[in-house]
């Protein structure tokens, strides 16, 4: 029997209201249509017991503002949920060399939780976070992180439209515009430090790009890994 090999992990990341879920669904549909075998991962796993603490956090049970739970504590809630998924769902496939497509991952802690720490302390937080999840917990590092960059005012408008259309109310992240703005700033910093592929959601004139245009950029960036040509 041949030895297990490292799989491929592609992560789609973005702040709330960036259109990430739409783009992730479109990516998965195209990969499937191309006949490429893959496993679809979505974080957090809201339907699983492993997400209990983070659901309590998002509902405001530990405080009504995101900053009421510090970056390290909140990050641990999400990390445990990912660890449970790794052990129960996709470890075997990944170690056999499989392709994983993830809607959010450890990188979401870098985006959302690092915004809670002073700007000068973010590099230290990033270092702690990635050591904690990738080395201490043993989760795989992504081969590619695609970050959808949506200006905060547009993201907030899209969130409010979604809430009106679905008759829902956002969680403590989605309803705090200042927090979302800090998340975008933190995300751009992490993207620059760690080589994430940033995909703009607006064109140079400030107009919202079409779903197909954004998908084209995603596909172009991901295709070498999808086809196994770049490891």
On the question of pLDDT at 123 being above 80, the answer is yes
CB atoms within 10 A of CB 189: 18
Tally of helices (H runs) and strands (E runs) in the chain: 9, 5
CB atoms within 10 A of CB 66: 25
pLDDT at 1: 38
pLDDT (tens digit per residue) in 50-93 = 999 999 998 999 998 888 999 999 999 999 999 999 999 999 99
Domains, the chain, in order of start with CATH, read 8-226 (3.40.50.300)
**Residue 3 binned pLDDT confidence (cut-offs 50, 70, 90):** very low
Mean per-residue pLDDT, 162-172 = 59
- pTM score of the predicted model: 0.89
pLDDT at 151: 84
**Residue 175 binned pLDDT confidence (cut-offs 50, 70, 90):** low
97: left (phi over 0), alpha (psi -120 to 50) or beta: left
Kindly report whether the peptide bond that precedes residue 44 is cis, defined as omega within 30 degrees of 0. Answer: yes
Residue 168 CB-density burial (10 A; 0-12 exposed, 13-18 middle, 19+ buried): exposed
**Residue 157 binned pLDDT confidence (cut-offs 50, 70, 90):** low
**Residue 15 binned pLDDT confidence (cut-offs 50, 70, 90):** confident
């Amino acid at each position: 029997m041949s030895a297990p090999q490292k799989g491929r992990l592609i992560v789609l990341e973005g702040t709330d209201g960036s259109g990430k879920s739409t783009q992730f669904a479109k990516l998965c549909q195209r990969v499937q249509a191309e006949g490429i075998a893959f496993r679809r991962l979505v974080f957090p796993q809201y339907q699983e017991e492993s997400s209990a603490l983070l659901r309590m956090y998002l509902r405001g049970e530990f405080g009504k503002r995101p900053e009421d739970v510090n970056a390290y504590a909140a990050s641990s809630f999400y990390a445990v949920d990912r660890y449970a998924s790794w052990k129960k769902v996709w470890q075997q496939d990944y170690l056999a060399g499989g392709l994983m497509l993830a809607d959010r991952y450890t990188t979401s802690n870098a985006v959302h939780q690092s915004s809670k720490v002073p700007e000068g302390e973010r590099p230290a937080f990033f270092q702690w976070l990635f050591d904690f999840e990738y080395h201490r917990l043993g989760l795989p590092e992504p081969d590619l992180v695609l970050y959808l960059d949506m200006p905060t005012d547009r993201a907030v408008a899209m969130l409010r439209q979604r809430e009106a259309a679905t008759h829902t109310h956002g969680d403590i992240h989605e309803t705090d515009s200042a927090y979302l703005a800090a998340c975008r700033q933190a995300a751009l910093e992490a993207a620059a430090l760690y080589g994430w592929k940033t995909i703009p959601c607006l064109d140079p004139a400030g107009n919202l790009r079409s779903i197909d245009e954004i998908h084209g950029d995603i596909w172009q960036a991901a295709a070498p890994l999808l086809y196994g040509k770049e490891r």
